[in-house]
Structure 1
Amino acid sequence: MIRAGIIGGTGYTGGELLRILSKHPEVEVVAVTSRREKGRKIHEVHPHLKGFYEIEFIEPDIDRLSECDVVFTAVPHGEAMRYVPELYESGLKVVDLSADYRLRKDKYEEAYGKTHEAYIEAVYGLTELHREEIAKARLVANPGCYPTGAILAAAPLAELELIERVIFDSKSGISGAGVSPTEFTHYPNLHEAIVPYKITDHRHYYEMEQELGRFQEDVRISFTPQVFPGSRGILTNAHIFLKGELEQDELEKIYRKFYDCSYFIRFQKAVRLSYVRGSNFADISINRGADRAVVVSAIDNLVKGASGQAVQNMNVMFGLDEWAGLDFPPLFP
């Protein structure tokens, strides 16, 4: 059994990691940390997990994680760099769910406005794009939730340098804002509303630029995120203005070839968030219009957009089947 630890187990991503790993056939969770909740049992913080864990939260002490084979860091941006270097140097494999290692050092400092004092080059953990590199990695930077849906929607065309410009219009459930309530997430402020925010300067733009730019240097990207009054899911409409003419069947062939070996990519005639809720699947529909292609992607932001993809990456790092512990259908309705 692979012995797993989680630094930061009380938030939504930490709780989702615990949920998924509780039934993973090859993994045992042996340590979960929280300064605030140390000494409390898992189910006292996550009541939905009662009966699945008997261990208690512990201090985030690296020595207490030494028995692990892999550690997930599910902490806020800027916090992971306090733990990752020591974990990495001790020989453990690490999957970081924060933004601390997703970007090159200069781009991170530009996007987050702070000096990165513990930079290590990591493999960007969008599994469908970097499967071979992830298999050899000891540090994987799990992608952001918005970039996951956006990049998957555009990568097949970027690989062939067929994109003139792409406009990502993305709508997310409020769990993407984290477990701590704020004025922004207060129910009356979101009820019956769709709220755009960081309209032209969301930090996730830099991940889209980095990853699509690996394929096509001249790709032009615009991105606007919005929040809708639901708990889970990200729906992305990728308006892709093409270089040259491509018919519907040609577009479909490009996408099916690119994702031929990707278990969690599903092509649908119609995409709905309710079709992927609670699962690690990314559903994609391809629609050719008069002046552009509109590729729609749907993911669960807490699963494929965070904890599920982290487990998918761990599976690849340890040579397991990519779908191990994740091969379950979505919840519907």
Structure 2
Amino acid sequence: MSNKLRAAIIGATGYGGVELIRLLLAHPNVEISQVISSSSAGTPIADGYPHLNEIMVGTLDGIDVEQMKQKSDVVFLATPHGVAAALAPKLVDAGLKVIDISGDFRLKSGEVYEKWYKHKPADPAYVEKAVYGLSEVFGEEVRGAEFISNPGCFPTATLLGLIPLVNKGWADLSSIIIDAKTGVSGAGRGLSLTHHYSEINENFLAYKVNKHQHTPEIEQALGRIAGEDVVVTFTTHLAPMTRGILSTIYVKLNGTHTEDEVIEMYRQYYEGRRFVRIRAQGKWPATKEVWGSNYCDIGFSLDERTGRLTIVSVIDNVVKGAAGQAIQNLNLMMGWEETTGLAIFTPVYP
């Protein structure tokens, strides 16, 4: 009998779910016990994803909490927004560890959630239970937790790029502007006109301007670090690529600091956190340099003329922005080395 942790994946036919399969298959301490999809139950997982043929054998299960209690120890929820709000509490009450990759438990205010996500908010008692799993910042809270709310993809890149500066008190909190770009996989596998090849190929567009649902998540986390309310300008763009997020952040500095001082401060903040890599002066990261990996790469440029710092932060939105960070959180929950099962995935290049 295997002594590995048994993991169920709900929403296994989405991009986040199938990325969890890829990563968990390489995890030495975990076995995938169930792959679950309410829309495709009873069909082989390889029917939807032929690349898994002879790798993942068997059919997709439907959602059955009692069955999960018998077969699994931890459940990953890779579901659309609004689904986990009703399902996660049942799983938590069943004694299962839960890692939710949707946005249903990230925002502590139900009113704010409903305004930005246009869904009924989850039970406040369970929202309060959910630990916000930005691993490099709140990792000590994640250790030993039973219920994790995985950060969004844009917030992961943006917050990792900003939090050390805010924590140090060097950021003018009224000046933060975030210009972020994502690949089309961030919208999931569902069909929409914007994501057709002929619409996005050789095209570049802004979307959800001043209305993106990740805005309050970024503000909530920055406010928690700063100890006061923080309001940001956040604009998202869709780029003609499959994976990747590049978040370009502009912020004025409090006091006088050199670019070298900024870089050294970031290196000290993330010391020992192997998935954040700080670039040397004059070096800025690109999405291709983290593709397929759990890394977040960050570079800087200080404009002495304007007193404004430009921060460039890149991640793979499906890995560090979703499935990879979820497994990183699982490692912390279980008391394992944070990089277990993830460090083997070096970026795919070119």
Instruction: Give the shorter-chain TM-score range.
Output: over 0.9
Query: Which of 120, 138, 144 in structure 2 is aligned with 1:136?
Result: 144
How far did 1:117 drift?
Answer: 4.3
State the match for 1:329 in structure 2. Answer: 346
Contact 1:135 1:316 (C-alpha < 8 Å) held by counterparts? yes
State the match for 1:293 in structure 2. Answer: 309
Amino acid corresponding to residue 73 of structure 2 in structure 1: D
Residues 117 and 313 of structure 1: is their aligned pair in 2 closer, same or farther, counting only changes over 3 Å? closer
State the match for 1:85 in structure 2. Answer: 89
Query: Which of 188, 206, 213 in structure 1 is aligned with 2:216?
Result: 206
Task: State yes or no: 1:312 paired with 2:315.
Answer: no
- Cα distance between partner residues in 1 of 2:57 and 2:203: 40
Task: Give 5+ residue unaligned stretches, structure 2.
Answer: none
- Cα distance between partner residues in 1 of 2:83 and 2:309: 39
- Cα distance between partner residues in 2 of 1:289 and 1:208: 24
Query: Which of 58, 64, 80 in structure 2 is aligned with 1:55?
Result: 58
Contact 2:105 2:122 (C-alpha < 8 Å) held by counterparts? no
How far did 1:115 drift?
Answer: 2.9
How far did 1:252 drift?
Answer: 0.9
Contact 2:82 2:120 (C-alpha < 8 Å) held by counterparts? no
Contact 1:163 1:219 (C-alpha < 8 Å) held by counterparts? no
State the match for 2:121 in structure 1. Answer: 116
- Cα distance between partner residues in 1 of 2:331 and 2:49: 25
- Cα distance between partner residues in 2 of 1:258 and 1:103: 25
Task: State yes or no: 1:74 paired with 2:78.
Answer: yes
How far did 1:193 drift?
Answer: 1.2
Secondary structure at the residue paired with 1:179? coil
Contact 2:219 2:229 (C-alpha < 8 Å) held by counterparts? no
- Cα distance between partner residues in 1 of 2:178 and 2:118: 24
Task: State yes or no: 1:27 paired with 2:38.
Answer: no
State the match for 1:281 in structure 2. Answer: 295
Query: Which of 189, 203, 208 in structure 2 is aligned with 1:179?
Result: 189
- Cα distance between partner residues in 2 of 1:117 and 1:285: 37
- 1:94-173 mapped onto 2 (5 Å cutoff): 94-104=98-108, 105-119=110-124, 120=126, 121=128, 122-164=130-172, 165-173=175-183
- Cα distance between partner residues in 2 of 1:117 and 1:296: 34
What are the Cα deviations for residues 123-173 of structure 1, in whole angstroms up to 9, with x where unaligned?
Answer: 111101110100131110011110010001100011022211211100000
Task: Give 5+ residue unaligned stretches, structure 1.
Answer: none
Contact 1:168 1:224 (C-alpha < 8 Å) held by counterparts? yes
How far did 1:266 drift?
Answer: 0.8
Residues 117 and 310 of structure 1: is their aligned pair in 2 closer, same or farther, counting only changes over 3 Å? closer
Contact 2:294 2:325 (C-alpha < 8 Å) held by counterparts? yes
- Cα distance between partner residues in 1 of 2:250 and 2:342: 30
How far did 1:218 drift?
Answer: 4.9
Task: State yes or no: 1:260 paired with 2:274.
Answer: no
Contact 2:243 2:317 (C-alpha < 8 Å) held by counterparts? yes
Residues 254 and 77 of structure 1: is their aligned pair in 2 closer, same or farther, counting only changes over 3 Å? same
TM-score relative to the length of structure 2: 0.93
TM-score relative to the length of structure 1: 0.97
| Aligned-pair Cα RMSD in Å | 1.2
Matched residue pairs, number? Answer: 333
How far did 1:69 drift?
Answer: 1.0
- Cα distance between partner residues in 2 of 1:55 and 1:3: 16
What are the Cα deviations for residues 54-102 of structure 1, in whole angstroms up to 9, with x where unaligned?
Answer: 1320111111211211100010000011210011011111000100000
Secondary structure at the residue paired with 2:34? strand
Sequence identity, in percent?
A: 41
